[in-house]
């Protein structure tokens, strides 16, 4: 099996050559003189050639050392340059951020914020991936993703950005034909429209101020994998849906749909920015996280929204 070059020993050798002293090299590298000496001895053993002629007063390169010195110096310079560039990338916000966001939230909420972000950080670019499917951030190489849910236990690092209320709604035309449910369990007798990517897609969970809980398994003529696609059917009076504010808020404000089940609310969900574990994270990811947190914390539902 081919062994990798001993880059550490080569770098130490180059530093000794540069300073013409084992002691000076040890001091600059914050190593003991013995460590420096062992590295050079290790390199000599690997190459089968003496690199220095050493006396108590003088340090001189051998022919083999002379031939190696220029290459080793270049390796050291390249390594220092690569490390400096990587540190600069981490310290200054620049480079590409790959961000995965649910479709409608990305279009309606995140995308309108990006022009201000990109203007503030002109050396950062964003690859915005829109999908309602649960993306494997690590496996697919994303720097971060937005999740709207009560997050399950996960190895991902999560940062809460804002609350996201949900509203159970129906059109007036539907309620006039089928009646207005006042308790979640009555939804079993109604046409309910479903969203496939809820954390519990086959159940709606409610709680009231007295702590009473109710879980309903809704059924109806339509189930979709994008929440916004439910809205036309709800407005047309096809059935009842439970939707987040960023999808249904304007329809409630305009009166196109009504909030029902007053006094009951779904389990609270929040908008989170999730990131792969480990760190430190690049500055480009940190500034985007801070920007989204600041902007979304200021987000407020329209005034005319009712509270369940």
Average confidence score pLDDT of the chain = 87
Peptide bond into 280 cis (omega under 30): yes
pLDDT bucket at 196, cuts 50 / 70 / 90? confident
CA separation for the pair 98, 69 (Å, rounded) = 42
pLDDT tens digits along 112-140: 999 999 999 999 999 999 998 888 888 88
Distance of alpha carbon 174 from the chain centroid: 40
| Helix/strand/coil for 307 | coil
| Helix/strand/coil for 171 | coil
The pLDDT of residue 150: 66
pLDDT tens digits along 248-293: 999 999 999 999 998 898 877 789 999 988 767 788 999 999 999 9
Strands 166-170 vs 258-259: parallel, antiparallel or unpaired: antiparallel
CA separation for the pair 230, 216 (Å, rounded) = 19
The pLDDT of residue 143: 92
The DSSP secondary structure of 105-169, one letter per residue, reads: HIIIIIHHHHHHHHHH-TTEEEEEEE-SS---TTTTT-SEEEEEE-PPS-SSEEEEEEEE-EEEE
**Lowest-confidence segment of 184-188, 224-228, 235-239 by average pLDDT:** 224-228
CA separation for the pair 184, 166 (Å, rounded) = 14
What are the two backbone dihedrals, phi and then psi, of residue 82, each rounded to the nearest 5 degrees? -65, -40
Q: Six-digit token pair at 179?
A: 């009646």
CA separation for the pair 224, 233 (Å, rounded) = 11
Q: Is 223 exposed, middle or buried (0-12, 13-18, 19+ CB in 10 A)?
A: middle
The model carries a pTM of: 0.67
pLDDT bucket at 306, cuts 50 / 70 / 90? very low
The pLDDT of residue 152: 58
């Amino acid at each position: 099996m081919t062994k990798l070059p001993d880059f550490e020993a080569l770098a130490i050798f180059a530093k000794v050559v540069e300073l013409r002293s084992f002691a000076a090299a040890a001091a600059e590298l914050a190593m003991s003189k013995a460590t420096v000496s062992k590295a050079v001895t290790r390199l000599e053993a690997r190459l089968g050639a003496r690199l220095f002629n050493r006396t108590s007063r003088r340090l001189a390169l051998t022919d083999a050392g002379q031939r190696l010195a220029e290459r080793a110096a270049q390796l050291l310079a390249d390594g220092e340059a690569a490390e400096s560039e990587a540190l600069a990338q981490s310290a200054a916000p620049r480079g590409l951020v790959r961000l995965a966001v649910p479709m409608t939230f990305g279009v309606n909420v995140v995308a309108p914020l990006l022009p201000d972000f990109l203007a503030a950080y002109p050396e950062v670019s964003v690859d915005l991936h829109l999908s309602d499917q649960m993306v494997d951030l690590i496996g697919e190489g994303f720097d971060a993703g937005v999740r709207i849910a009560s997050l399950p236990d996960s190895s991902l690092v999560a940062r809460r950005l804002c609350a996201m209320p949900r509203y159970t709604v129906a059109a007036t035309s539907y309620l006039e034909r089928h009646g207005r449910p006042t308790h979640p369990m009555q939804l079993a007798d109604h046409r309910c429209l479903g969203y496939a990517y809820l954390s519990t897609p086959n159940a709606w969970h409610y709680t009231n101020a007295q702590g009473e809980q109710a879980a309903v398994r809704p059924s109806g003529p339509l189930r979709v994998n994008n929440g916004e696609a439910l809205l036309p059917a709800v407005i047309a009076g096809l059935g009842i849906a439970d939707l987040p504010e960023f999808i249904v808020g304007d329809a409630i404000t305009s009166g196109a749909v009504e909030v029902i089940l007053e006094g009951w609310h779904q389990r609270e969900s929040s908008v989170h920015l999730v990131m792969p574990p480990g760190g430190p994270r690049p500055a480009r990811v940190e500034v985007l996280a801070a920007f989204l947190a600041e902007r979304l914390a200021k987000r407020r539902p329209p005034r005319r929204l009712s509270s369940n």
